[in-house]
Amino acid sequence: MTQRLQGRTALVTGSTSNIGRAIAEALGAEGAHVVVSGRSVERGEEVVAGIRARGGKADFVAADLDGSPEASHGLAGAATEVLGGRLDILVNNAGIYAPTVHLAGTDSATFDRYYAVNVKAPYFLTQVVAPRMVADGGGTIINLGSWVARLATPLGGLYASTKSALESLTRSWAAEFGPQGVRVNAVSPGVIRPPELDPAADFAGAMTSGTPAGGPGHPAAIGAAVVYLASDDAAFVHGATLDVDGGRANVAVVAG
């Protein structure tokens, strides 16, 4: 690795599995001291052990981001303390998703939970982290959007709307904090195959058919995109949403 993030500190929410884990591992491989966060202590410690085994630096901080300011502010404080008083990179990755949630079957509690976890939690986390980054001379915030925020599917509209909100907040926060030295951007993943899934299994074929990539992506692709946005290579990138989706949201491949 290039060690592009040597000496920097990072917090990745929801990083005990899948995309979040890949992001934490990628940041750690590039030299950042990473706080892995999530609800499962066992899985979190496993991620931390893997990063350390590869020569990286990582710690686990348990958190249940329920959308309350107390939960988000508490995580920010605990992570900053573990990192020695400074947080350079925040990745708002934690979120919930169920493909079967549709309009007719959505009750008020489900609606509120989606917005609590997917929007309010990163909102209140950023609320306390961004000003601290400004006071410390700068930092980088990266939100996780989704291709379904712009390319609609018959189901999952509730989830898609939360990701649309987060991508909109990305631009708003970039306008608010960019002039003060804090870059805010987003990564929009496409269909990502969980790494534990059998490679021979048919996974989301209908969702990836007709894309330039021709199939689902690996979580490592999202980790690489986050590393880029967190690094000085992206110093002139503000308020952007980087599509890492195999072309799903923007390109249609038509057979001749």
Q: Which residues are annotated as catalytic?
A: 159
Give 79's contacts (C-beta < 8 A, 6+ positions apart): 11, 35, 37, 61, 87
- For helices 18-29 and 41-53, the axis angle rounded to 10 degrees is 30
Q: What is the CA radius of gyration of the chain?
A: 18
88 within 8 A of 137, measured Cβ to Cβ? no
**Considering only CA atoms, which of 65, 225, 60 is closest in space to residue 140?**
225
**Considering only CA atoms, which of 129, 210, 121 is closest in space to residue 166?**
121
Strand partners for 139: 182
Give 191's contacts (C-beta < 8 A, 6+ positions apart): 147, 203, 204, 207, 208, 216, 217, 245, 246, 248
